[in-house]
């Protein structure tokens, strides 16, 4: 087993239809939930990479249903890209197991899947330019557009009430009352701020917006940008693709692509909303989604950034209070640091909400 890996990737990947000999594996990416590895194989001396992933079944309680969603979504997207240049880099491709399934369950009950590795493209944890922001916006808008005609049945909810912000607020109140880790005393200002924002939580759910097939985790680092052209070439991390509201997707893009600071930055002076980045996201998203979203959805794009930045800050705070049970942490207090960046960013967005609203109305 590779020392840097928490799992025996060689042994796990043996169960998939991978050609060649195993060479090495290393942990990959910076996600908070699953475990991802880049596995290197050799075919006649030529190196071939694969992305091997463990689905966190403590969080995704129905991994079999989740994989059915992923299979259907990737198959649908593949038909859309068929015969287009670079088709195999525009959608994730599952590598089947030796017995033809889309995932493998190991002896400890962990669910594993393998994707073809998309070469000459990468993700970025922090946005570097308005051009990248435009590409991310366009790619996620296009993703919604291409899934608009996904045939029935409805995808399953891989996490029920995932973007039900009022329910997220209720979970926060329960965690606060329980204070199991005795940490509430360390987060007084953040708790007071969260409590003061209760009325914002319902703004999207009460707006009577249409349910669509949405991604629901549109972080900037969930789109691969082509190394040469910079194009947003492939939307990844499909575990939360399910019925949802379009503005939540747009909002999470705004949350993760309008600040140039890391999500857990401790120097809050570095955390602020960058309007030109917002403009690029909005132009990119609307270039692909502007033709099908309704007037009501468009009217809620500006507030969606504030809402999901609040929701995510609230989730980090709830997890801090619960003793770091949900998001991976690499140091003490990391969830509280993450909460602080979100609340700081939200304040900075709120001051520019009217300008955001105006811009979104103006873009054709
Ligand atoms: P997580 O749920 O942990 O965020 P992701 O599915 O986003 O996992 O994958 C983690 C990282 O692995 C991504 O940020 C991306 O850099 C890389 N990645 C994922 N899928 C592929 C792929 N098929 N080809 C190349 N890189 C990939
Ligand atoms: C998690 O797995 P990752 O890092 O892409 C989380 C998102 C949060 C995000 C915050 C299933 O996403 O909802 O917005 O962290 N995913 C899940 O960075 O809870
Ligand atoms: Mg990810």
Q: Is 98 exposed, middle or buried (0-12, 13-18, 19+ CB in 10 A)?
A: exposed
Q: Which ligand is nearest to the CA of 91?
A: 1
Token pair belonging to 222 = 């969930």
What does the pLDDT read at residue 2?
A: 46
SS3 content of the chain, % helix, strand, coil (to 5): 45, 15, 40
Please compute, for residue 74, the number of CA atoms within 13 A of its CA located in the half-sphere on the CB side.
Answer: 21
What does the pLDDT read at residue 4?
A: 82
pLDDT exceeds cutoff 80 at 1 = no
For 25-52, the pLDDT digits (tens) are: 999 999 999 999 999 999 999 999 999 9
pLDDT exceeds cutoff 80 at 139 = yes
Please compute, for residue 133, the number of CA atoms within 13 A of its CA located in the half-sphere on the CB side.
Answer: 25
For 58-114, the pLDDT digits (tens) are: 999 999 999 999 999 999 999 999 999 999 999 999 999 999 999 999 999 999 999
Q: d(Cα 86, Cα 64) in Å, to the nearest integer?
A: 30
For the CA of 255, the closest atom of ligand 2 is: 14
Asked whether 204 and 216 are in contact (CB, 8 A), the reply is no
Q: Which ligand is nearest to the CA of 227?
A: 1
For the CA of 316, the closest atom of ligand 2 is: 10
Ligand 1: centre distance to CA 95 (Å): 15
| Sign, Cα dihedral of 120, 125, 128, 132 | positive
Q: How many CB atoms lie within 10 A of CB 4?
A: 10
For the CA of 33, the closest atom of ligand 2 is: 2
Q: Which ligand is nearest to the CA of 237?
A: 1
Ligand 2: centre distance to CA 308 (Å): 12
Which residue minimizes the CA distance to atom 5 of ligand 2?
A: 31
Tell me how far the alpha carbon of residue 286 is from its chain's centroid: 19
* Confidence grade of residue 3 (pLDDT, cut at 50, 70, 90): low
Mean pLDDT on 165-173 = 98
For 267-300, the pLDDT digits (tens) are: 999 999 999 999 999 999 999 999 999 999 999 9
Please compute, for residue 344, the number of CA atoms within 13 A of its CA located in the half-sphere on the CB side.
Answer: 22
């Amino acid at each position: 087993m590779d020392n840097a890996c928490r799992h025996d990737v060689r042994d796990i990947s043996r169960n998939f239809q991978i050609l060649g000999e195993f060479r090495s594996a290393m942990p990959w990416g910076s996600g908070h939930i699953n475990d991802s590895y880049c596995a290197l194989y050799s075919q006649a001396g030529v190196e071939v990479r694969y992305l091997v992933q463990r689905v966190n079944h403590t969080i995704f309680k129905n991994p079999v249903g989740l994989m059915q969603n992923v299979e259907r979504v990737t198959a649908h997207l593949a038909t859309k890209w068929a015969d287009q240049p670079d088709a195999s880099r525009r959608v994730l491709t599952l590598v089947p197991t030796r017995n033809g399934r889309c995932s493998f369950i190991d002896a400890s009950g962990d669910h594993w899947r393998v994707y073809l590795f998309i070469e000459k493209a990468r993700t970025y944890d922090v946005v570097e330019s308005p051009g990248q922001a435009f590409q991310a916006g366009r790619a996620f808008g296009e993703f919604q557009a291409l899934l608009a005609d996904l045939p029935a049945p409805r995808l399953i909810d891989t996490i029920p009430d995932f973007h039900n912000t009022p329910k997220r607020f209720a979970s926060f109140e329960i965690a606060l009352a329980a204070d199991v880790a005795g940490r509430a005393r360390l987060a007084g200002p953040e708790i007071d701020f969260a409590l003061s924002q209760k009325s914002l939580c319902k703004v999207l759910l009460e707006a009577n917006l249409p349910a669509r097939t949405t991604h629901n985790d549109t972080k900037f680092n969930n789109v691969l940008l082509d190394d040469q052209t910079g194009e947003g070439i492939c939307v990844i991390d499909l575990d939360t693709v399910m019925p949802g509201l379009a503005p939540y997707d747009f909002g999470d893009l705004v949350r993760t692509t309008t600040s140039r600071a890391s999500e857990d930055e401790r120097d809050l002076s570095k955390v602020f909303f960058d309007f030109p980045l917002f403009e690029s996201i909005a132009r990119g998203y609307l270039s692909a989604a502007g033709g099908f979203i309704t007037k009501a959805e468009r009217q809620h794009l500006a507030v969606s950034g504030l809402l999901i930045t609040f929701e995510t800050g609230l989730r980090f705070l709830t997890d801090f209070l619960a003793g770091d049970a949900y998001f991976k942490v690499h140091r003490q207090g990391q969830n509280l640091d993450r909460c602080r960046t979100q609340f700081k960013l939200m304040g900075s967005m709120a001051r520019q909400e009217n300008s955001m609203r105006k811009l979104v109305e103006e873009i054709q």
